[in-house]
Structures are given as C-alpha cells and as structure tokens.
C-alpha cells in the first residue's frame, strides 16, 4: 500500500520540525530536527493524550502508513514530540487539536516517565481528557478512530499491532501492564 503525496509531504515537513532535545534526566539540551534526533538515538520530549468519552471509553486511532514510527499501528493516545519552545501542556493541547480536532477541553496531567527503545527514546508526559463531540481526524496522520472499552484495548493489543509507547503511557496512567 502506498502513501499519498499529502502524507509524504507531511512526513518530510515533520522530519524537519525542531523538537525538544533532553538528557536522561529530562534536562533541556536544545532543539534538533526530529529526524536527526531519531537517527542519532538521542532523547526527545513527547506527550500522550488519552481521550475518553463520557461513557469512559478510550479513543483509539490507526496511524497512517507515512508515520516514521509504528506506521499502520493502532494508537491509544493522541500526541507527539514537544516542539522547540513548548512545554508539555502546550504540546498536549496542540497535538490533541491537530490529530483529533479536539480543543478547549481540560487536560488532566498524569505521569511522566522515560521510554527507551531503539529509535524511540522519549521523556513522556501523560494527559487525559473527556470529549463527547465530533472528531476531526488529521488525514496525514490518522486513518480512522473509534471509542472502545479499555478491556478491548488490552485484548486487541495482544494480537494486533499497537504502539508500545502509548500502551506504556496508558499503563502508567491507569495501572495496567501493557
């Protein structure tokens, strides 16, 4: 399956974005292009926003095939890299609005943790929000979305491709092992 020209252009622009570069203690070292940070195995800052509806179901979404990490995987959180000059809450609000079209909601801060896998070294901040309105998916990053019970996430994640970093965020915020 090929990616669209719009997705390819979005990916190229994303790879050039200046993102926060930090050390293993989350001390800010500066900013680097996202692709360089990843290629050099350096650590960036990232946000994860767990979006629930009023019934307590979690919004999961499928990542487009143009994503640099985990293309085509299911993701339990909106989110992404913290841009240069942003703090975690600013990044979380921006990412939720960009990916799912949700803004003006209260973001509840949960945990911060270090996630370390080859090609994906992150200091992560986890937030949650509740939203019962419509979603406006960012087509370059999100191919589909649905709300499901948490049990469905845990069942599906054992047999389907789910992003390990967002599963870790969910586990940290709500106490279940991924």
Q: At what angle do helices 150-157 and 164-174 cross, to 10 degrees?
A: 140
Q: How far is CA 139 from CA 17, 54, 110, 124, 160, in A?
A: 19, 25, 28, 24, 22
Q: Which residues pair with 75 in a beta bridge?
A: 61
The structure tokens listed for 153 are 């996430």
Residue 95 annotated in ligand binding: yes
Q: How far apart are CA 178 and CA 80, in angstroms?
A: 20
Q: Say if residue 99 carries a ligand binding annotation.
A: yes
d(CA 70, CA 49): 17
Name the binding residues: 95, 99
Known binding positions for Mg(2+)? 95, 99
């Amino acid at each position: 399956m090929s990616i669209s020209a719009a997705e390819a252009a979005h990916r190229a622009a994303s790879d050039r974005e200046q993102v926060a570069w930090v050390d293993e203690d989350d001390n800010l070292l500066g900013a680097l292009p996202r692709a360089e940070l990843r290629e050099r195995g350096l650590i960036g800052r990232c946000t994860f926003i767990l979006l629930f509806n009023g019934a307590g179901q979690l919004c999961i979404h499928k990542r487009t095939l143009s994503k640099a990490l985990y293309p085509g995987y299911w993701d339990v959180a909106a989110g992404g890299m913290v841009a240069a000059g942003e703090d975690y809450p600013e990044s979380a609000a921006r990412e939720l609005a960009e990916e799912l079209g949700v803004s003006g909601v209260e973001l509840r801060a949960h945990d911060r943790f270090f996630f370390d896998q080859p090609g994906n070294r992150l200091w992560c901040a986890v937030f949650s929000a509740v939203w019962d309105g419509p979603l406006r998916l960012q087509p370059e990053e999100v191919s589909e979305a649905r709300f499901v019970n948490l049990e469905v996430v845990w069942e599906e994640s054992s047999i389907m491709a789910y992003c390990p970093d967002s599963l870790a965020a969910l586990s940290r915020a709500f106490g279940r092992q991924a």
